[in-house]
Amino acid sequence: MNNIKEQIKPPEQIALTEAAYKTLEEMYETARQCKRCPLCKTRTNVVLFRGNPQAKLMLIGEGPGQYEDETGLPFVGKAGQLLDKILASQEIDRDKDIYICNVVKCRPPGNRVPEKQEIEQCRGYLEAQIELIQPPLILLAGATALQSVLNVKYPISKVRGKWFDFKNGAKVMPIFHPSYLLRNDSREVGSPKWLMWQDIKEVKRQLQVISGHTI
């Protein structure tokens, strides 16, 4: 007979699926108490989202940094401020027109890239966000988001700006991570910042198509 300890897995080891939550609030409540991975030991706040859950556009980043950990809100540091500017340049309102979240919900110490295990333990929360919000358009900011959501290892520079089909008829577009743009300040034609502006223009175009506006 199997050892009972092997039969009954503690909750930390049970894979979460999107079906585990009926509402976002239910998921937020669970995530705020989460101890599924060691990031819970060093976090100040669990960082779940900012923006509008009814928005047609979702952006998924990597994970919270220092300011995000302190405030409990994603993309509020320097990278977030740049992101807000880029969105505003296309009249995409940061509070009304987009729902912003991350692959991992707790800050990796020293802002290191989240480890595979941490991403896996957090996956159910991100899946619940996608499933419950059902955004028609999803932006994957940076390599961690690209790899975690589409399970591919392409360099962002090769796939950015292109729409890929996703589940439930959604489209996803990989884009540069705003922190990368902070390190590459040039606005020359063909520079990462310039390319990001082209990509966000395309996002705006698709938002207009979805909402039935002629362009």
Binding site for ligand URA (CB under 6 A): 61-65, 68, 74-75, 77, 79-80, 102, 179
Of 114 and 161, the one with the shorter C-beta distance to ligand URA is 114
Q: Which residue do the tokens 């998921």 mark?
A: 27
Q: How far apart are the first and last CA of the chain?
A: 67
3-state secondary structure of 53: coil
Taking the complex as a whole, the smallest distance from the CB of residue 123 to ligand URA amounts, in Å, to 16
Taking the complex as a whole, the smallest distance from the CB of residue 181 to ligand URA amounts, in Å, to 12
Looking at residue 43, its amino acid is R
Exposed, middle or buried: residue 83 (CB in 10 Å: 0-12, 13-18, 19+)? buried
Taking the complex as a whole, the smallest distance from the CB of residue 192 to ligand URA amounts, in Å, to 16
Report the relative pairing of strands 137-141 and 171-175 from DSSP bridges: parallel
In the complex, residue closest to ligand URA by CB:
61
Taking the complex as a whole, the smallest distance from the CB of residue 64 to ligand URA amounts, in Å, to 5
Of 79 and 200, the one with the shorter C-beta distance to ligand URA is 79
